Amino acid sequence: MARMLLCLNAGSSSIKFSLYRVGPADALALEAHGQVEGIGVHPHFLAKAGDGATLAEQRWPEGAAFGHDGALRMLMDWIAADLAGGALLAVGHRVVHGGTRFHAPALVTPALLDDLAALSPLAPLHQPHNLAAIHACQAIQPGLPQVACFDTAFHRRQPDVATRFALPRALTQAGVRRYGFHGLSYDFVSRRLHALDPTLAAGRVIIAHLGNGASLCAVRDGRSLDTTMGFTALDGLMMGTRCGSLDPGWCSICCGRRAWTLLRSSICSIMNAACSVYPGCPATCANCRRATRRRPARRSTCMSTASRGTSAR
């Protein structure tokens, strides 16, 4: 009986998958790949063989009540029916955020799911969907082993100078730091480059991950030294639906009297995200209260508003 491994990448409106056949000496051969896209709007399922030939395709009418659970169940049913004779050994999941604790792929357990759910405020557009796919697989095949692979893990060996913001150390210890993302992509490119040209891979390399989400990573000898994404996946390069790095000074110019209110709200949101990961941290909560404390009214000028924004940072 053929042995199969399934890899899933669950996003907000799509689930990408790759199915591998495990051969002699555990060598992997791509059996099928594809995606279910347009989930919740206009679902479309497409599966192709390893050589690119279309294996299956199906569309549903616009507005079809078709959530992530339904997409995964349909996918698992397709694997069982159309690839009969194969035994699914395990499922690997892309999980965007592993925090500072997870440095390598980890077997899914109830405790791990709790830890990853606590990180959802730091990646609200990604983490909940990643975890939903894990829960859905558990419901479909309760005994099937699942492994979480983290986008942040590749960056965990970065030097401190690359991970720290110019903020009080207490905030760094509370979790306000650069985590870095797209690590699974960078890890793959680094390994592939090493296989093609070990000498080049041992030197200084800049890798570009360019798509709807985009970032750059500086790598030396396969190790991440710095990356453009920071505390969340919003920073760095301009992306499909994210502006990338943005000077906070825009607030004072564009918003006038509302500038300090908006900037204070942004600071509070950052602090709340840190508090949600490290609840009850006295340093974080104290700085949050201090940063968002109401200030005495001043004359409404760009200069005074900018000064307040600068002092708050």
Catalytic residues: 151
- The answer to whether 26 touches 1, Cβ cutoff 8 Å, is no
Q: Which of 227, 198, 196 is nearest to 213 (CA)?
A: 227
Which structure tokens are listed for 25?
């000496």
Burial bucket for residue 193 (CB in 10 Å: 0-12, 13-18, 19+): middle
Burial bucket for residue 54 (CB in 10 Å: 0-12, 13-18, 19+): exposed
- The answer to whether 8 touches 20, Cβ cutoff 8 Å, is no
Q: Which of 110, 123, 108 is nearest to 276 (CA)?
A: 123
Q: Which of 119, 230, 214 is nearest to 178 (CA)?
A: 230
What letter represents residue 132's amino acid? A
Task: Classify strands 44-49 and 204-209 as parallel, antiparallel or unpaired.
Answer: unpaired
Q: In DSSP terms, which residues pair with 106 in a beta bridge?
A: 148
What is the Cα–Cα distance from 24 to 22, expressed in whole angstroms? 7
